[in-house]
Amino acid sequence: MTGPARFKRIRVEEGAETYSQTSVILGRLNGLPVEHVKPVQSRQGPGALDLDKETLRLLPFQGEFLKPCPGTKEYICCGYQILHVGTNCPLDCSYCVLQAYFNQPELRVFVNLESKLDQIGDYIDRNSGKLFRIGTGEFMDSLALESVVGWRKLLLPFLSNRMNAVLELKTKTEEVDGLLSSPWRERIIVSWSLNSPSIAAVEEKGAPSIKKRLEAARRCQDEGFVVGFHFDPLIEHQDWKDAYRRTVDMMDDLINPNGIIWISLGCLRYMPLLKKVIRKRHTGSHILDGEFILGFDGKMRYFKPIRVGMYTYMSKILNQWHDDLGVYLCMESDEIWQRSLGWSPEHSEGLSRYLDQRAANVFGMNY
């Protein structure tokens, strides 16, 4: 069982053998050819086309495991902390930023995470006045490799000892069996990236349908997990209003809105470099059809009235469903917040406070 991943080989980088997670993973994927390799010297240029999603590379990570989300000062950022457990993803979404973000292929798992947890824990404990909203879903899907790697066994107990941290596991998969079998629920958020059913079917290759994602979310809710959702990227496509409404209707059918901590909205944006990758790797894709302009952060994003129109519509239909869903915008300006949602946190600190407060209320924390 490897979830959505279809591995054909494993590469164990020099230095990775000494970590117990390496043996655990090799044991789970027993039978696959294993190559012992040196750290990669030469890197592919950014935007290389062969992402080699069939190779799992196990390696020790030399950088910082816990880092603030690299937001930009020009737009309001949620203040999320990224726990960097690996890079790349077995799914193949046409819009995925990872296609242009990393210049190294293969699915990479950092097997020295366990040895760094004490250090990370010390840092969190030393900053007891701050609430850490931590996520593993920035550079890979949080659950797509769960059955192979078993991060939950490290991270969930780790979080249970930290009263000033919540862990958000962002996914598009239905790989929740492992989570459901764990005893941990406190300060854990399982969240799904959602889109319209048609975008999910055409542009999110390898990912389950929206209905299946919501059914997985429902199972998590039934088993006591707090859930979140991310409509990111919102994509302007034919009949997009009806299409996104269908997703919200499915949410209404399957999800208890009272158990939702937050829902983020973010219109498609991309680094200019990603365009040629999308054109080459996803030839039939229509996600670039819209009117994109160069934003303050150097990324392409929809022309302002299009973004305002999409956010306004989404927030309207979500609020019609339930009026306390914690809807927020990802990487947008104060002006867009005001025009779309009728209020604004004004700056990144304001949005952080808003989300911290949501987390504190849901989990009964003092922040």
Q: Which residues bind another protein (CB under 8 A)?
A: 42, 44-48, 276, 279-280, 286, 288-289, 291, 293-296, 303-306, 309, 333-335
Residues making up the chain, counted from first to last: 367
- CB of 96 vs another protein, minimal distance in Å: 18
- 3-state helix, strand, coil split of the chain in percent (to 5) is 35, 20, 40
Angle between the N-to-C axes of helices 304-321 and 334-341, in degrees from 0 to 180, rounded to the nearest 10: 50
Q: How far apart are the first and last CA of the chain?
A: 40
Q: Which is nearer to another protein, 1 or 293 (CB)?
A: 293
Angle, CA of 55, 48 and 93, to the nearest 5°: 70
Q: Which is nearer to another protein, 73 or 279 (CB)?
A: 279
**Tokens standing for residue 197:** 């059913």
- CB of 183 vs another protein, minimal distance in Å: 47
Maximum alpha-carbon separation in the chain: 56
**Tokens standing for residue 209:** 């349908």
Q: Which is nearer to another protein, 45 or 364 (CB)?
A: 45
Q: Which is nearer to another protein, 8 or 280 (CB)?
A: 280
Q: Which is nearer to another protein, 53 or 282 (CB)?
A: 282
- CB of 271 vs another protein, minimal distance in Å: 15
- CB of 239 vs another protein, minimal distance in Å: 14
**Which residues does 152 contact at the CB level (< 8 Å), separation at least 6?**
146, 178, 179, 182, 184
The Cα 200–Cα 207 span in angstroms is: 7
- CB of 312 vs another protein, minimal distance in Å: 10
Q: Which is nearer to another protein, 47 or 79 (CB)?
A: 47
The Cα 341–Cα 327 span in angstroms is: 9
- CB of 240 vs another protein, minimal distance in Å: 11
